[in-house]
Every structure is written in C-alpha cells, then in structure tokens.
C-alpha cells in the first residue's frame, strides 16, 4: 500500500471515529457554522466534540505547518482529507476569516513571531478576525481609502470608517487597511492588526435586503494601534506603507476562494430538482422555463469542468495568474442566474418570507443574498476590467 | 487525470498548430479552393500531408496501422483546423468514419483503414434525415435481400458525401422509425448502384449532399458490427463526432476572438484605439470567459469519452451546447467589433461566422444538446 493509500485508510478510520453523525448533515444556515472566538458558544455537544477533535489533530487548518496549529499535510494529503470529508458530508469544524484570509497572508508575509502567535490562535479557534477593507467612498476603487493612522512613534492613532466589514460586531480582532502616507496612493497603506476591544472601535450592523445583517459599518475614533506586540511580532503585516501588496495578494486569494464555492458537479445542475418540485404540485415546468433551466444546466456543468481545470492548472503552476478574476466573474454571475431560475420554478411558494415550509423564507432570502456575489470581493465590472488589462492586454484598461 | 494536456499531448498540440497554421492557412486552403469553385471543397494534397503527419489514423488502433490515440488527441488537431478554418475531411473520415470502422470486422477494417491512413481515401457519414439532427429517428431502410441488403431512403447534410470513397450509413433493419433498436450501420462504397448525390455548397463553402438510396444492393459484409446492433456503434460515432465538432468549434471561437482582440488594439476612432473603450473591453472580457469555459468542458468531455466514463454522454452534450453558444458569441462579436470591414469578403472574420454556423448545426446544435442534457438529467 502506498503512503497516500495508507493515509486515506487512516483518515477514513479517524473520521469514522471522530465525526459525529450530526456533523455529517449539510450546513443549512449560519447557525450550523462554528466561527470560534472569545465569545463563541457551541450550538450542541456534537459541534463541540467535532471541533475539539479536529483542533487537537490540526485539522481545522490541515495544510498549515504543525508548529502553527495545523497538521502539516502535503497538498496530496490535504486533498485526500477533503475528499474523505466530502464523502461523509462532514461539516467544516471551524470557519473563519482568519483561516481563509489572514492566515494565508501571514504565511506569505508574516514574521515568525506573528505566525507563532496569530496562526495558533486562529487554528485553535481562540480569536475571530474580521477584515477592514472597503470604505463608504472606496468600494471598487479600494486604493482611494482614507482611514488614516497618524504616526506617534511606537503606535498609530487611527481615525476613519470601514464598511461591509463581515461580522465585525462578533469579531475579536481586525486586519485593516490604514493609510499611513497621504501623499503616496499605492505605497502609503499599512496592513494593521488590532483588537476590536480597543478604545474608540465601534460597529453597527447593516440590515440587508435579505433581512439579515452579516456586514457592519465599523468606526475608528482615535484608536491606538501599537506598532509591536512583542518580540518579532509587529502590529502590521509586511512593511509599513506596503500594505497594498498584502491586500492585493489577499484579494486574489479571496477571488479564488469565492470562485471555488460553486460546489461539485452534483449540485451544479438544478433542472431535475425543479421538475421534481413542480411534479409534487401536480404541475409541469413551463416549456420556456424548462429551456432556460436546460441552458443553465449546460453552463453550470461546463463551469464545473472549468473549475476542475482551473484547480489542476493552479496546482501545476500553469494557467494565467489573473485567471481567478475570470473564475469569480463567471461563477458569481452563474450563481445569481441559478437563484433567479429557482425563484421562478418555485412560484409563489418561494415568495414566502417567514413560513415554516420555506424554513423562514430561505428561497427568497438566499436569492437576494446572491445579488452580493458579483459585488463583494470585486464587482463583475472590475473583474472584466482586470481580464481586459491583464489577460487580453487591451490598451488603457 | 489533470484537466490539461500532458507532455505528449502538448507536443502534439505544438506540432499540429505549426503545421496547420503553415499548410492549412485560410489563404492557402479555404480561399484557394473556394475561389476555384472546387467540387470537393478541400485539397487532396493537404489530406496526403495530414497522412504524412500521422493525423489521418489518429483514432485507428496501432494493430490496424493507426496511432491508437483518443478523442483528446483528435480534438487537438481539430482545434487547429477550426482556428485556421481549414477545409478538411478529417472530422468525417478520421473521427466519425474511423470510430465506426474501429467497431467493424477485420475484413472491413482491412478494406478501408489503409486508404484512410495513407490519405488516399476520404469517408463520409450519413445520419441526418431532414434539416435537423434527429438521430433518434432513423427511417432509411435496409431490407434483407438474398445474402445482403437493399438500402432505400434519403440522407441529408452528408458532409463530403460526393467526394467520399465510402459512406457510413445508419439504416433501419427492423422495428419502427423511433425505435432505439433495429439500427444497422453499413459501409457503402462510392460506386454502389442506386446511390444518387445532390451536391450542395454550404454557407461556409464546404460541400455536402442530399443522398438518395434507391434499392442500393449491399453485401452482408458491408455491415459494420452486428445487424440490428448498430445503435451502440452509432452512439459512439455520435459522441466522437460531437466532441470533435466541439473541439473544432473551440478553434473557430479562439481564432475569431484573437483576431478581434488584435483589431481592438489597432483600429483608431475618436483619436483613440477602440480597445480603450470600456464598452468593448467588457464585451471582449466576457467573450474570453465564455471561450475559456467552452474549452475546459470540451477537454473534459473528450477525457471522459476516452476513459469510457458513464458520464461521457452527458458531458459531450454539455460541451457541444456550450461551444455552440460560445463560438456563436465569438463570431458575432467579431463581425460587430470589426465594423464595416467585418462585412467584407476581403476580411477573414466573416469566414469564421460562416464556419461557425455550419459547425454549430453539425451533429446537433446548441439547442438540441441543451434539450438532450435536460432529458438525460430527468426533465
């Protein structure tokens, strides 16, 4: 038996022994997600047990090095773990912007001291992070951001406002883009790390059209941010005034992540499920709707092949570096179309906003939520700009 | 298997790209033969060169003197054919007919494959009956007659039908028109008595025929595979032809897109390169995305077909439909973004539009295959 086959056998046995039955059900909503952090509570014993088993094994962040709280798995091993978890429908034991965003940034740009401290806190689910990027006047044109940190020697005093800060009201710390040089647009931003309980930080949830509030406005009023948290542990990532490099890297990473969320081939096509739903009402799909669903299924199934090719090329170091922008564009536009068609197929049932039958209005709330897909993390229009410039090399783009 | 070309395939792609760009170029082949009103619609000399390159027998087993490669490799050649709009019997002979013959007796293979591999023979395949691709319904009949069969009926859209040394014909040997079973494939030689071709030139300057079979007498050894057992072979032929046409379509789409993007970088209006206008940039970027997805699913479908995956049927139709839309978008945007000169015969972009139209129709258009995807998915 090869090492990888051996690893698969062991992983399967470990999952059998450690993943509770309740944690093998699909994630229905945010309540089923464990985010960690100082104020986190477990929804049930199974969630706690599953999280703790994974934490102790390094499986909250399997591919991170062991000394930072991971399991040090190779890419091939991590893929096997993903496959085996998918096979039994295991939920992620811990979700966080620390894992998805800050972690990768620290692994690439962080000092040893930062990695030791922050990565371990993330891996163990002790600190919940949020991301401070967009500002009211700086959405697509992010680099125009104004939140300013005044240099006071061993610390900065930060003033300004961020917006669309995901779960800022529940986060413990923030990684935040702060302008530290007003005369230098791109090389005047610092990627700071600080505690949300610092004096002068306040948050206000934003009620969205879907009725939920996953985003906040975040205000900084004379917030004192230390330049250092101890030996080899600066309060910023990378260099002072070079935070844009980190931000750009993370935006690319975020687009990859969003573009990878399309789900597998089995969830991609929706026509058959919509037909079954109609049949339950003793009805048939309208022929024109059926045709639109068929065309959607073609596009969705084709996109699963694109996703596979994209991942394979990325792993092999092939493919254009700006390709994640294309993936993000196509994937998010497809997802919006998916939910439009699901709403149409569902008819008046899917308009219900609170009924138990719809799980509290899931069809309509999810449909509205998808409208943000092509806005957050770079709008579709910005993606098209990037493709024009970096892939097609069009003039003046 | 990763979803990109391995080393050998990448090498084949380089070779095919170079060779077909040189020898199969639009001026050298498509315009050359079109302007001479060539009755074949392609050049035999180039077909011999294809043979020298080893392309003609790409899908033929090594034991029969071929290359023993798969649909991914055939697709690599077809993408270059598409990119250069090269008129060639490659798809009908080396993909469709070869897939049928691969399922035939040693006798049939010995009779026809050497000529294909050497580039001396050209084959066609007769499936469609009527203006749309409906292979589920086969009305052309082959009735038992002595030791052989008598073939009667009409086939349409038989590409290269009048030039072909042999035509693979799907006919009904039992059952009724819409039956799954009761189909038999025949290898009909060009000199068969009672076969009449009405040759027509198509919009893309290729040649096809309406072919009538009026009691064409065939020996029993003209049967490919088993009598009444032709549906399975026909499905293999259709899958290979569809994914092949999709690969060629990817080439047409890429060729049209590259030409158009180049034009955006040269043409000036209002004192600016038109490629500086965001309205055109976004359309070009959207087109790029669609073409990328079309290419990915085409390779995926070919890989699944070569791996005998049970998912191949579905993904072949996904690919043919996706490519139909993506290539259609590429040529329409191509002509529009070229403006007035896009409408002239002198510029090549219009030739891409014509080729795409014919290729999209061949082996089922984007709508046919979207419908097939729905049916296979259970709705």
CATH number at residue A203: 2.40.110.10
Q: Which residues of A touch B286 (CB under 8 A)?
A: 329, 384
Residue A265: predicted pLDDT: 44
Q: Is the pLDDT confidence value at B20 over 60? A: yes
The reply to whether A301 touches chain B by the CB within 8 Å rule is yes
Give yes or no: residues A271 and A376 share one domain. Answer: yes
Answer yes or no: is A298 within a domain.
yes
Residues 6+ apart with CB under 8 A from B302: B70, B71, B72, B74, B75, B243, B247
Residue A76: predicted pLDDT: 85
Give yes or no: residues A276 and A193 share one domain. Answer: no
Give yes or no: residues A145 and A55 share one domain. Answer: no
Q: Is the pLDDT confidence value at A259 over 80? A: no
Give yes or no: residues A337 and A283 share one domain. Answer: yes
- Lowest mean pLDDT: which of A1-15, A223-237, B161-175? A1-15
Answer yes or no: is A109 within a domain.
no
Pairwise CB contact (< 8 Å): A305 & B300: yes
Minimal-distance CA residue of chain A relative to B274? A395
Q: Is the pLDDT confidence value at A28 over 80? A: no
Cα angle, residue B331 at apex, residues B330 and B334 outer, rounded to 5°: 85
Residue A262: predicted pLDDT: 45
Q: Which residues of B touch A391 (CB under 8 A)?
A: 285, 288
User: Which among B273, B290, B378 has CB closest to A395?
Assistant: B273
Residue A7 belongs to domain with CATH number:
1.10.540
pLDDT band at A154 (very low <50, low <70, confident <90, very high): very high
- HSE, side-chain direction, 13 A CA sphere, residue B317: 20
Span B188-233, pLDDT tens digits: 999 999 999 999 999 999 999 999 999 999 999 999 999 999 999 9
Domain stops at, among A78, A95, A112: A95
Q: What is the mean pLDDT of residues A68-87?
A: 91
Pairwise CB contact (< 8 Å): B278 & A385: yes
Answer yes or no: is A116 within a domain.
no
Pairwise CB contact (< 8 Å): B370 & A388: no
Answer yes or no: is A62 within a domain.
yes
Pairwise CB contact (< 8 Å): A295 & B2: no
Give yes or no: residues A193 and A291 share one domain. Answer: no
The reply to whether A318 touches chain B by the CB within 8 Å rule is yes
Structure tokens at A119: 């990565």
* Cβ atoms of residues B20 and B80 within 8 Å: yes
Pairwise CB contact (< 8 Å): A387 & B289: yes
Give yes or no: residues A137 and A74 share one domain. Answer: no
* Cβ atoms of residues A37 and A125 within 8 Å: yes
Mutate to test the interface with B, among A298, A320, A327, A385 (most CBs of B within 10 A): A298
Pairwise CB contact (< 8 Å): A392 & B288: yes
Give yes or no: residues A134 and A227 share one domain. Answer: yes
Structure tokens at A395: 């003039």
User: What is the rounded distance in angstroms from the CA atom of residue B9 to the CA atom of residue B3?
Assistant: 12
* Cβ atoms of residues B142 and B184 within 8 Å: yes
Residues 6+ apart with CB under 8 A from B160: B40, B41, B42, B89, B92, B93, B122, B123, B124, B206, B207, B208
The reply to whether A384 touches chain B by the CB within 8 Å rule is yes
Q: Is the pLDDT confidence value at A99 over 60? A: yes
Give yes or no: residues A56 and A162 share one domain. Answer: no
Q: Which residues of A touch B369 (CB under 8 A)?
A: 298
Q: What is the mean pLDDT of residues A57-78?
A: 94
Minimal-distance CA residue of chain B relative to A275? B379
Structure tokens at A268: 């991609």
Q: What is the mean pLDDT of residues A24-48?
A: 89
- Lowest mean pLDDT: which of A239-243, A319-323, B165-169? A319-323
Pairwise CB contact (< 8 Å): B293 & A302: yes
Q: Which residues of A touch B337 (CB under 8 A)?
A: none
User: Which among B276, B289, B378 has CB closest to A326?
Assistant: B289
The reply to whether A379 touches chain B by the CB within 8 Å rule is no
Structure tokens at A172: 């413990």
Answer yes or no: is A147 within a domain.
yes
pLDDT band at A263 (very low <50, low <70, confident <90, very high): very low
Q: Kindly report the nearest CA distance between residue A273 and chain B, in angstroms.
A: 9
- The helix/strand/coil state of A52 is helix
User: What is the rounded distance in angstroms from the CA atom of residue B152 to the CA atom of residue B220?
Assistant: 16
Range of the domain at A53: 3-95
Residue A314: predicted pLDDT: 83
* Cβ atoms of residues B234 and B170 within 8 Å: yes
CA B46 to chain centre: 17
Position with higher pLDDT, B294 vs A267:
B294
Q: What is the mean pLDDT of residues A323-333?
A: 93
Q: Which residues of B touch A302 (CB under 8 A)?
A: 293-294, 296-297, 318-319, 322
Pairwise CB contact (< 8 Å): B374 & A312: no
Pairwise CB contact (< 8 Å): A272 & B377: yes
The reply to whether A293 touches chain B by the CB within 8 Å rule is yes
Mutate to test the interface with A, among B247, B283, B325, B374 (most CBs of A within 10 A): B374
Interface of A with B in 94-123 (CB under 8 A): none
Span A168-195, pLDDT tens digits: 999 999 999 999 999 999 999 999 999 9
Question: What is the tally of helices (H) and strands (E) in chain A?
Answer: 14, 8
Pairwise CB contact (< 8 Å): A388 & B281: yes
User: What is the rounded distance in angstroms from the CA atom of residue A396 to the CA atom of residue A84?
Assistant: 47
Give the containing element (helix H, strand E) for A129.
strand A129-132
Answer yes or no: is A252 within a domain.
no
Q: What is the mean pLDDT of residues A352-368?
A: 94
User: Which among B261, B319, B374 has CB closest to A290?
Assistant: B374
Pairwise CB contact (< 8 Å): B276 & A299: no
Answer yes or no: is A306 within a domain.
yes
Number of domains in chain A: 3
* Percent of chain A predicted with pLDDT > 90: 82
The reply to whether A329 touches chain B by the CB within 8 Å rule is yes
Span A266-317, pLDDT tens digits: 468 999 999 999 999 899 999 999 999 999 999 999 999 999 899 889 888 8
Among residues A124, A309, A387, A36, which one has the least CA distance to residue B297?
Answer: A309
Mutate to test the interface with A, among B243, B277, B292, B320 (most CBs of A within 10 A): B292
pLDDT band at A121 (very low <50, low <70, confident <90, very high): very high
Pairwise CB contact (< 8 Å): B315 & A305: yes
Answer yes or no: is A318 within a domain.
yes
Interface of A with B in 55-94 (CB under 8 A): none
The reply to whether A396 touches chain B by the CB within 8 Å rule is yes
Please provide the size of chain B in residues: 379
User: Which among B265, B281, B377 has CB closest to A384?
Assistant: B281
Q: What is the mean pLDDT of residues A34-57?
A: 96
pLDDT band at A264 (very low <50, low <70, confident <90, very high): very low
Q: Kindly report the nearest CA distance between residue A254 and chain B, in angstroms.
A: 19
Averaged confidence pLDDT in chain B:
97
Q: Is the pLDDT confidence value at B51 over 90? A: yes
Q: Kindly report the nearest CA distance between residue B250 and chain A, in angstroms.
A: 13
Residue A397: predicted pLDDT: 59
Domain stops at, among A43, A70, A95: A95
Residue A356 belongs to domain with CATH number:
1.20.140.10
Q: Residue B111, exposed/middle/buried by CB under 10 A (0-12, 13-18, 19+)?
A: middle
Pairwise CB contact (< 8 Å): A297 & B370: yes
Q: Which residues of A touch B289 (CB under 8 A)?
A: 326, 329-330, 387
Question: What is the tally of helices (H) and strands (E) in chain B?
Answer: 11, 10
All domains in chain B, ordered by first residue: 7-122 (1.10.540.10), 125-228 (2.40.110.10), 232-377 (1.20.140.10)
Q: Which residues of chain B are at the A interface, by a Cβ-Cβ cutoff of 8 Å?
A: 2-4, 261, 264-265, 272-273, 275-276, 278, 281-282, 284-286, 288-290, 292-294, 296-297, 299-301, 314-315, 317-319, 321-322, 325, 366-367, 369-371, 373-374, 377-379
Place of tokens 């706690």: A48
């Amino acid at each position: 038996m090869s090492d990888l086959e051996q690893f698969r056998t062991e992983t399967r046995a470990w999952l059998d022994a450690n993943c509770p039955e309740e944690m093998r059900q699909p994630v229905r909503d945010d309540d089923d997600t464990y985010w960690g952090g100082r104020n986190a509570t477990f929804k049930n014993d199974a969630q706690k047990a599953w999280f703790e088993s994974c934490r102790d094994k390094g499986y909250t962040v399997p591919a991170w090095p062991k000394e930072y709280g991971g399991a040090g798995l190779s890419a091939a091993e991590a893929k096997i773990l993903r496959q085996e978890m998918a096979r039994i429908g295991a939920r992620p034991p811990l979700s966080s912007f620390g894992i998805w965003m800050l972690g990768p940034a620290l692994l690439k740009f962080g000092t040893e001291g930062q990695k030791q401290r922050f990565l371990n806190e993330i891996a163990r689910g002790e600190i919940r992070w949020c991301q401070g990027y967009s500002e009211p006047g700086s959405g697509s044109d992010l680099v125009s951001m104004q939140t300013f940190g005044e240099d006071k020697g061993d610390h900065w005093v930060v003033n300004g406002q961020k917006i669309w800060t995901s779960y800022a009201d529940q986060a413990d710390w923030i990684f935040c883009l702060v302008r530290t040089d007003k005369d230098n647009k791109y090389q005047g931003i610092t990627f700071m790390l600080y505690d949300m309980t610092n004096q002068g930080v306040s948050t206000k949830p934003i009620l969205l059209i879907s009725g939920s509030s996953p985003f906040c406005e975040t205000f900084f009023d004379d917030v004192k941010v230390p330049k250092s948290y101890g030996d080899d542990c600066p309060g910023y990532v990378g260099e002072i005034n070079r935070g844009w490099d980190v931000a750009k890297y993370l935006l690319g990473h975020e687009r990859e992540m969003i573009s990878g969320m399309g789900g597998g081939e089995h969830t991609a096509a929706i026509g058959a499920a919509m037909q079954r739903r109609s049949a339950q009402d003793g009805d048939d799909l309208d022929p024109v709707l059926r045709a639109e669903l068929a065309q959607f299924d073609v596009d969705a199934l084709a996109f699963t092949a694109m996703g596979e090719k994209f991942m394979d090329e990325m792993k092999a170091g092939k493919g254009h570096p700006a390709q994640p922008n294309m993936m993000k564009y196509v994937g998010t536009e497809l997802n919006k179309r998916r939910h439009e068609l699901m709403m149409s197929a569902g008819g008046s049932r899917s308009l219900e906003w609170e009924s138990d039958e719809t799980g509290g209005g899931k069809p309509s709330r999810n449909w509205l939520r998808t409208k943000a897909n092509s806005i957050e993390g770079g709008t579709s229009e910005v993606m098209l700009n990037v493709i024009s410039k970096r892939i097609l090399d069009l003039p003046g783009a | 298997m990763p979803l990109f070309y391995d080393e050998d395939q990448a090498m084949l792609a380089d070779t095919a790209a170079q060779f077909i760009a040189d020898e199969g170029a639009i001026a050298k082949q498509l315009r050359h033969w079109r302007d001479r009103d060539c009755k074949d619609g392609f050049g035999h000399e180039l077909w011999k060169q294809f043979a020298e390159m080893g392309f003609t027998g790409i899908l033929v087993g090594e034991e029969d003197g071929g290359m023993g490669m798969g649909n991914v490799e055939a697709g690599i050649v077809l993408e270059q054919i598409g990119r250069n709009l090269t008129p060639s019997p490659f798809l009908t002979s080396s993909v469709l007919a070869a897939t049928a013959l691969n399922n035939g007796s040693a006798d049939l293979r010995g009779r026809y494959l050497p000529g294909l591999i050497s580039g001396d023979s050209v084959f066609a395949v007769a499936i469609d009956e009527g203006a749309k691709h409906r292979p589920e319904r086969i009305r052309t009949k082959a009735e038992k007659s002595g030791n052989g069969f008598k073939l009667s009926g009409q086939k349409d859209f038989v590409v290269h039908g009048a030039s072909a040394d042999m035509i693979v014909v799907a006919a009904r040997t039992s059952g009724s028109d819409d039956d799954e079973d009761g189909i038999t494939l025949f290898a009909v030689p060009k000199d068969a008595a009672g076969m009449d071709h009405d040759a027509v030139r198509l919009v893309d300057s290729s040649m096809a025929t309406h072919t009538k079979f009026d009691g064409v007498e065939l020996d029993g050894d003209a049967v490919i595979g088993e009598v009444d057992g032709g549906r399975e072979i026909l499905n293999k032929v259709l899958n290979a032809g569809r994914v092949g046409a999709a690969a060629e379509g990817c080439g047409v789409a890429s060729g049209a897109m590259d030409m158009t993007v180049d034009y955006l970088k040269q043409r000036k209006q209002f004192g600016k390169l038109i490629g500086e206008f965001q309205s055109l940039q976004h359309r070009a970027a959207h087109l790029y995305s669609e073409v990328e997805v079309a290419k990915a699913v085409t390779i995926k479908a070919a890989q699944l077909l070569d791996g005998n995956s049970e998912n191949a049927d579905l993904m072949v139709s996904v690919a043919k439909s996706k490519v139909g839309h993506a290539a259609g978008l590429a040529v329409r945007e191509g002509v529009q973004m070229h403006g007035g000169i896009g409408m002239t015969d002198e510029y090549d972009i219009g030739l891409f539009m014509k080729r795409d139209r014919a290729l999209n129709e061949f082996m089922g258009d984007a709508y046919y295959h979207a419908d097939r995807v729905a049916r296979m998915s259970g709705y």
